[in-house]
Copies of this chain bind each other. A is one copy, B any other.
């Protein structure tokens, strides 16, 4: 396959676009400010299409050299139908047939999926999970989500909403209500008596040996570990990858996550599972969209063979 692929990562703040060459290398990128297009769905779609075309032109490529365009979006997606069902954090996005809209604008094949799924796909194909048949990729940020690879296949669930780990009931609420970004920030603001404290500051405090900061991360890790222990018992994965913004604090989170998993899961499963940090960082979304397109064509081929 000697064609290029465009990978697009739509977030609540930015839209990141990348052009990936036939060897899988990211050779050009650009970025849009999502906020400028809030409440203006069609304008955002137009801007994405325009930016994609400019990316193609920037490398003097022809449309015929592009295999397709992949997009990851933060919300409920039906990848089969190419339908955005609902984006909780970008107003006005409900039941948008995004694949067909963009396909018409770009005259290229378009594939879409949930952003956390695509981060997982990227980490599995070229990040921390390469070669692993059974893994969970946890993303810790404003939302707490996960993607699941089982039996060497990506698993999306009966209605494409599998992996909603942040909404797993935990104590009196849900996991996300304990370790979501905003919740952690509010908790830190209270502990350190500083309104608008950033989690980076709590990380710095922990690095300097501040006992309350270290305990802050330990507690968050224990919450995450409690829920992960249940998942380890249920799915007996080989690997758990921890990604997302909050995972920048992996160094302080990981010991408590690991300890809680070892304590609270069955021996065989708890002893064998590895907990590692995600590898691809900010580019995971773009690469996930790239693999989405690539796999769609590989699958289509094998489908046509039947």
Residues of A at under 8 Å CB distance from B?
76, 85, 133-134, 146, 148, 150-151, 153, 155-165, 167-170, 226-227, 229-231, 233-238, 264-266, 268-269, 272-273
Nearest to A166 among chain B residues (CB) is B233
Q: Which of B85, B151, B163 contacts A153 (CB 8 A)?
A: B151
Q: A151-B153, A158-B236, A161-B268 are in contact. List 16 more A-B contacts (CB 8 A).
A: A134-B157, A148-B235, A150-B151, A151-B151, A156-B236, A158-B272, A158-B273, A161-B269, A164-B234, A164-B236, A167-B266, A169-B226, A169-B229, A169-B230, A230-B230, A231-B234
Q: Which of B159, B165, B237, B238 contacts A268 (CB 8 A)?
A: B159
User: How many copies make up the complex?
Assistant: 2
Nearest to A76 among chain B residues (CB) is B268
Question: What chain B residues lie within 8 Å of A150 (beta carbons)?
Answer: 150-151, 155
Whether the pair A237, B157 counts as a contact (CB closer than 8 A) is: yes
Measured CA separation A183–B266 after assembly (Å): 20
Whether the pair A235, B157 counts as a contact (CB closer than 8 A) is: yes
Whether the pair B236, A167 counts as a contact (CB closer than 8 A) is: no
Whether the pair A134, B151 counts as a contact (CB closer than 8 A) is: no
Whether the pair B234, A159 counts as a contact (CB closer than 8 A) is: no
Whether the pair B229, A269 counts as a contact (CB closer than 8 A) is: no
